[in-house]
């Protein structure tokens, strides 16, 4: 038994693919986009640092003097991260989790180029590349059905 | 009885996403298309941006997925970075860093997916994941050198 209900008429697969294409091509509100990008960048960076330092989420919570469930919430996005909690995580990880545009310029000089809005791409730098925000429809190819 | 085939739905710089096309009598249904019709508007934004970030920036690393039997689901417990209601599940199968098959999903309303209203999605995801993995094993679906999936257009999984 599948999802298709007997007697119900569905749009043709070609039309469904077009709906999927429209879904991906819809521009999200900029604020939402930034919120997701920042949240994702921070959570990914924390996860990367934990792995690098051989720490579990439990160890991390202990070092933060927090309950594991609370830290899990911090990294869950259900909890809007405060600057205070980001600072605390940075302290424990001994790693700055946020680099502002000016920080990037100062740290990398003219190697850091503004790509779009406030995002930077650092050229010829040791594996540091900030998110390339230029997204055009060229990046989205929907298969020919 | 329904038949199932694979379909490429979108390709980003680092990840190609596929879905499942279900065929029953004269009707066809792409599972991911059904999923996006059901979810709330604010979560559409989150799902779209999350998939774009994975597709364009990060690749489909294991950390983004949670295990759900033979299948997986988004978002992950570990890196559940966005304001998606934690009970929303998009079932999927991560083949490698560059290929992910997106299934269907919905809102989980019980501790265990099996006891929830989305248990059917959970079961379908596991059923089709087994079939897809079997097809990869017997080479009906081939993972190319570029990590993309290749299969005969007439293939029924």
Residue B127 pLDDT more than 50? yes
CA distance readout (Å), B51 to A97, B15, B37: 23, 9, 16
Tens digits of per-residue pLDDT, B30-69?
A: 999 999 999 888 889 888 988 999 999 999 988 788 777 7
> Which tokens belong to B119?
């248990």
CA distance B150 to B143: 6
Local structure of B111: helix, strand or coil: coil
Of B2, B50, B58, the CB nearest to A2: B2
Integer-rounded Cα Rg, in Å, for chain A is 21
* Superfamily covering domain A30-132: lambda repressor-like DNA-binding domains (1.10.260.40)
Residue B84 pLDDT more than 80? no
Local structure of B9: helix, strand or coil: strand
Q: If DSSP states are collapsed to H, E and C, what string results for chain A?
A: CCCCCCCCCCCCHHHHHHHHHHHHHCCCCHHHHHHHHHHHHHHHHHHHHHHHCCCCHHHHHHHCCCCHHHHHHHCCCCCCCCHHHHHHHHHHHCCCCCCCHHHHHHHHHHHEEEEECCEEEECCCCCCCCCCCCCCHHHCECCCC
Q: Where are the domains of chain A?
A: 30-132
Per-position b or e across B77-90, b if 16+ CB within 10 A of its CB:
ebbbbbbbeeebbb
A24 and B48: CB-CB below 8 Å? yes
B50 touches chain A (CB under 8 A): yes
CA distance B97 to B106: 24
B76 band by pLDDT with thresholds 50, 70 and 90: low
pLDDT attached to residue B20: 97
- A to B CB pairs, distance under 8 Å: 140
**Residues within 8 A of B (CB atoms), A 81-110 only:** none
State which residue of chain B sits closest to A76, comparing Cα positions.
B80
Residue A99 neighbours by CB under 8 Å, 6+ apart: A107
Substitution target from A3, A120, A129, A140 for chain B, most B beta carbons within 10 A = A3
Mean pLDDT (whole number) for B91-106: 93
Of B29, B33, B82, the CB nearest to A4: B29
Of A3, A33, A132, the CB nearest to B31: A3
Answer for the pair B30, B40: CB distance below 8 angstroms, yes or no.
Answer: no
**Residues within 8 A of A (CB atoms), B 96-115 only:** 104
Q: Where are the domains of chain B?
A: 3-149
pLDDT attached to residue B5: 96
B72 band by pLDDT with thresholds 50, 70 and 90: confident
Per-residue pLDDT of chain A (145 residues), as tens digits, is 789 988 889 999 999 999 999 999 999 999 988 888 888 888 888 888 999 999 998 999 999 999 988 887 677 544 578 889 899 999 999 999 988 888 888 888 766 665 554 444 444 443 434 444 444 444 444 443 3
CA distance A82 to A134: 28
B33 and A20: CB-CB below 8 Å? yes
Q: Chain A closest CA to B23's CA: distance in Å?
A: 8
Of A3, A9, A57, the CB nearest to B34: A3
B48 and A28: CB-CB below 8 Å? yes
Task: Name the one residue in this structure whose structure tokens are 């059917």.
Answer: B120
Q: Chain B closest CA to A110's CA: distance in Å?
A: 23
State which residue of chain B sits closest to A24, comparing Cα positions.
B48
**Residues within 8 A of B (CB atoms), A 31-60 only:** 32-33, 35-37, 39-40, 42-44, 47, 57
DSSP state of B118: T
Q: Chain A closest CA to B111's CA: distance in Å?
A: 16
Local structure of B94: helix, strand or coil: strand
């Amino acid at each position: 038994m599948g999802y298709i209900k007997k007697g119900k008429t569905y749009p043709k697969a070609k039309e469904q693919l077009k709906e999927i294409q429209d879904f991906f091509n819809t521009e999200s509100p900029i604020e939402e986009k930034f919120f997701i990008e920042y949240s994702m960048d921070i959570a990914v960076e924390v996860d990367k640092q934990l792995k690098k330092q051989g720490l579990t989420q439990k160890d991390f919570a202990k070092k933060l003097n927090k309950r594991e469930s609370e830290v899990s919430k911090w990294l869950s996005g259900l909890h809007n991260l405060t600057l205070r909690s980001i600072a605390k995580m940075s302290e424990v990880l001994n790693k700055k989790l946020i680099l502002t545009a000016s920080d990037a310029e100062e740290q990398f000089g003219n190697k850091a180029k503004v790509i779009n809005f406030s995002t930077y791409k650092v050229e010829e730098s040791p594996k540091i590349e900030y998110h390339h925000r230029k997204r055009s429809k060229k990046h989205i190819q929907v298969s020919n059905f | 009885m329904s038949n199932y085939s694979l379909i490429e739905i979108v390709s980003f710089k680092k990840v190609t996403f596929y879905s499942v096309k279900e065929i029953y009598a004269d009707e066809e249904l792409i599972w991911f298309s059904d999923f996006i019709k059901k979810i709330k508007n604010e979560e559409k934004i989150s799902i779209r941006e999350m998939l774009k970030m994975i597709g364009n920036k990060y690749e489909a690393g294991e950390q983004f997925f949670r295990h759900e039997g033979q299948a997986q689901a988004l978002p992950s417990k570990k890196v559940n970075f966005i304001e998606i209601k934690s009970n929303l599940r998009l079932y999927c199968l991560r083949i490698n860093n560059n290929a992910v098959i997106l299934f269907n999903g919905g809102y989980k309303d019980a501790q265990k997916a099996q006891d929830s209203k989305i248990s059917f999605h959970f079961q379908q995801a596991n059923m089709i994941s087994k079939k897809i993995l079997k097809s990869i094993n017997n080479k009906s679906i081939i993972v190319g050198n570029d990590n993309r999936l290749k299969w005969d257009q007439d293939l029924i999984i």
